[in-house]
Structure 1
Amino acid sequence: MARERLEIEAPEVAVHLDAQDPESLRRLVLEACQRASTVRTDHEPLVDLALSQLVRGTPDDNLARKLEELAERTDDRYLTAQEAADPNWATLFRSARLASALSLALREQTRSSVLNSIYEAAHASPDTAAFYRDLLL
């Protein structure tokens, strides 16, 4: 069975998440996405809408698809910026990770969507280790 990226990068976080009930997982995903949303983005209205939807706890496949497309476009932008040695590439990278985290969080809750959403949210942060540590406190 393939392991999720979070299980490889932070196995203790994955173990902690596996021990949670569905409502606790929903709250942890919401908290992770809210923390990640402090990243400056150029698509705030979509982020705000996604966070509002997460607070309500209702999956939204249409919004999730829009965020997935946004993540893909922003990934392209960050890669182009990185190749051009543009110092803004890291901000674009974190914006893409935030869009990806929100997209995954808005889908039907599965183990994979939870682990991947939290992994992506952590990578929207400049310090993933601190992000994971703070999430588990």
Structure 2
Amino acid sequence: VMPGLCLYDFGDLVRTCVSPVEEDSTDLASVQVRMPVFRALARGFLKEMVRVLTPSETANLAFSGKLLTYEVALRFLTDHILGDTYFGAKRPDHNLERARNQFQLVRRLAALEGEMNDYVDELVGMSANPEHRLPLAV
């Protein structure tokens, strides 16, 4: 843990959790976004953070997953190009495969960004009403 924007934390949480396969998987067709997992992450995060986030932060919550996934994809690709010195590699082209996996996840997240934004907006709207509490499950 280090100081930084909470969107980095949420974005990396999304990157790590929403795909049903690990970042090492070479089966790009299996790289998907599990929307129920995204909803659970957003719900739990906003339940605790909605009152301290700025409007800009809540507006970019869904985007943060795509951004952090893109950043990690670039880092894997860079490491591959530079000889696998940062992340290391368990096999030839391991970091290239990881980069491809993460770029595929970026595409999947981009395709669902509108739906993700709508869900975040719904949760933020619910929290604006003092009689509402964010649901633990939907």
TM-score normalised to structure 2 length? 0.36
Larger radius of gyration: 2
Q: Tell me which protein shows more helix as a share of its residues.
A: 1
